[in-house]
Amino acid sequence: MSWLTAPGHLLVCDLDGTLLRSDTSLSDAARDGLNALVAAGVAVTVASARSTAAMRPMLPGVDLRLPVIEHNGAYISDLRTGEHLITNALDAATAGKAVELLGDPIVTTWDGARDRVHFGPELNTGAGWFIAEKRRYADPRLTETADLHAVADREQVVMLCSYVPDDEAAGVAATVQAAVGEGARVWAALNAYSPGWSEVVVQSPLATKGAAILELRHRLGLAGEITACGDHVNDLPMFAVADRRVAPANAQPEVRAAASVVTGANDDDGVVTYLLDQLAILRREAEQ
């Protein structure tokens, strides 16, 4: 029996830069490959900084049956309904302090009845790209809000994201981290879709892809190995808990360095091709 189909094995793949091509599309070949893995009995799911509202139109025809990890581990959710099975939110005081320091971030929340993405009336180029993308697929969460600080007081904040020039991002992230201390995890990362603008992200310390994978595995009653596939620094926490770490050739340098295997690039469906090749090889070996 192959490691992909071994009892208790869990395969978790990032979306942007890993399964998705650089234009954010999922190729027909990748779709068919993912469905072939599911049909072969592989326990497959995805872990993304995106929401279920964004994932659904990006995964047309993919037969994902397991809960998914959204917003870097802020939620474990049912992909079809968007129901949150697990929520890791910031406490109100920490969220309020981060809003104050970042000035005009994009604030992702749960208001007790629905998911929301709050944004102010003035958007820089980086944040404008983010909101424009959400408008293209009619994201129902979008909510223009004048007083973002009030949002932090009345709703569960699961993520704050501020777009800052690349050369300022590390400094901004360090300032916010120093101010919020252990109440949040803050990091900066380049945004491939909006050149020149980096994301400064603030989330609960519990909201990581790695912690979410371990929680999901526990909830599913799985006890086998974990294979994680990713390209970005927010994928490193899931690499840290994985037995097998797969990165496409386009992955950021620190992600490639942490990988067990580097495949072809995302625009060539490198990760799915590698997984299908491994499934075929291991099946042939089992038959010999």
Q: How many domains does the chain have?
A: 2
Biggest distance spanned by C-alpha atoms of the chain: 66
pLDDT of residue 238: 97
Residues 20-27, mean pLDDT to the nearest whole number:
96
pLDDT tens, 141-174?
Answer: 999 999 999 999 999 999 999 999 999 999 999 9
* Among 191, 201, 119, CA closest to 158: 201
Q: What is the pLDDT of residue 282?
A: 61
Q: Is the pLDDT assigned to residue 285 strictly greater than 70? A: no
Give the domain range for residue 228.
Answer: 10-87+207-287
Task: Give per-residue pLDDT as tens, 68-127.
Answer: 999 999 999 999 999 999 999 999 999 999 999 998 999 999 999 999 999 999 999 999
**Residue 1: pLDDT over 60:** no
**What is the Cα–Cα distance from 158 to 143, expressed in whole angstroms?**
15
List the CATH number of the domain containing 171: 3.30.1240.10
CA–chain centroid gap for 259, Å, is: 18
Residue 2 falls inside a structural domain:
no
| pLDDT for position 202 | 98
**Rounded mean pLDDT of 27-49?**
96
Give the model confidence (pLDDT) of 224-264 as tens digits: 999 999 999 999 999 999 999 999 999 999 999 999 999 99
- Are 55 and 142 in a shared domain? no
Tell me the CA distances in angstroms from 5 to 34, 189, 240, one per residue in order: 13, 34, 22
Are 25 and 59 contacting, i.e. CB atoms less than 8 angstroms apart?
no
Q: Are residues 54 and 132 in the same domain?
A: no
Write down the mean pLDDT value for the chain. Answer: 95
Query: How far is CA 185 from each of CA 50, 57, 85, 98, 152, rounded to the nearest angstrom?
Result: 17, 29, 22, 11, 16
pTM for the complete prediction?
Answer: 0.91
